[in-house]
């Protein structure tokens, strides 16, 4: 076996794995997909998104993720029933998500904490 080729092959393997991971995160993370399809009309949900239609927009997901009060349980409850959890005055309509979708999108929002700038 040609041992000179090993580091090169490993390097290529690492590079392609990293690329695949970044694609998977962008395109296949269910929470990120739901955020982009369901929430982005009102919220900035990711870097580089054009301004939401809602004007003024709802708080960005970056801002929401960095709030001290942000927890998976309370956010999921809010997202499932914005008007039924003590936030009756909220202006957010019920996005009518299924339980799994609320879990995924909540995971996505909280995952932004500490490393987002929008
Ligand atoms: C039609 C517009 C609209 C859509 C669509 C929308 N939101 Fe909102 N959202 C709002 C507004 C407006 C607020 C601010 C509520 C307020 O100030 O009463 C808000 C607030 C929030 C909050 C913060 C609640 C708090 O504790 O202050 C979270 C979390 C949230 N939205 C998540 C989502 C998620 C997840 C989606 C997509 C599944 C989504 N929103 C879709 C308008 C929207």
Residue 75 has pLDDT above 50, yes or no: yes
**CA gap 90, 84 in Å, rounded:** 10
Question: Helix or strand or coil: residue 39?
Answer: helix
Cβ neighbours of residue 20 closer than 8 Å, sequence gap 6 or more: none
Instruction: Tell which atom from ligand 1 comes closest to the C-alpha of 52.
Output: 2
Cα 20 from chain centroid (whole Å): 18
Q: In whole angstroms, what is the distance from residue 106 CA to residue 94 CA?
A: 15
Task: Indicate the top mutation candidate among 67, 75, 92, 105 to test ligand 1's pocket, ranked by most ligand atoms within 8 A of CB.
Answer: 92
Query: CA–CA separation, 89 vs 56, rounded Å?
Result: 17
Q: So what's the pLDDT on residue 2?
A: 66
pTM of the predicted protein model: 0.81
Domain extents in the chain: 30-111
The mean predicted confidence, pLDDT, of the chain is 85
């Amino acid at each position: 076996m040609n041992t000179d080729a090993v580091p090169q092959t490993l390097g290529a393997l690492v590079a392609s794995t990293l690329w695949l991971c970044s694609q998977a995160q962008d395109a296949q993370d269910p929470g990120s997909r739901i955020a982009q399809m369901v929430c982005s009309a009102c919220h900035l949900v990711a870097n580089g998104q054009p301004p939401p239609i809602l004007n003024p927009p709802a708080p960005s997901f970056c801002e929401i993720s960095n709030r001290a009060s942000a927890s998976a349980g309370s956010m999921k409850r809010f997202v499932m029933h914005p008007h039924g959890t003590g936030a009756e005055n909220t202006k957010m309509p019920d996005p009518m998500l299924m339980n799994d979708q609320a879990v995924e999108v909540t995971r996505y929002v909280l995952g932004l904490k500490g490393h987002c700038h929008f």
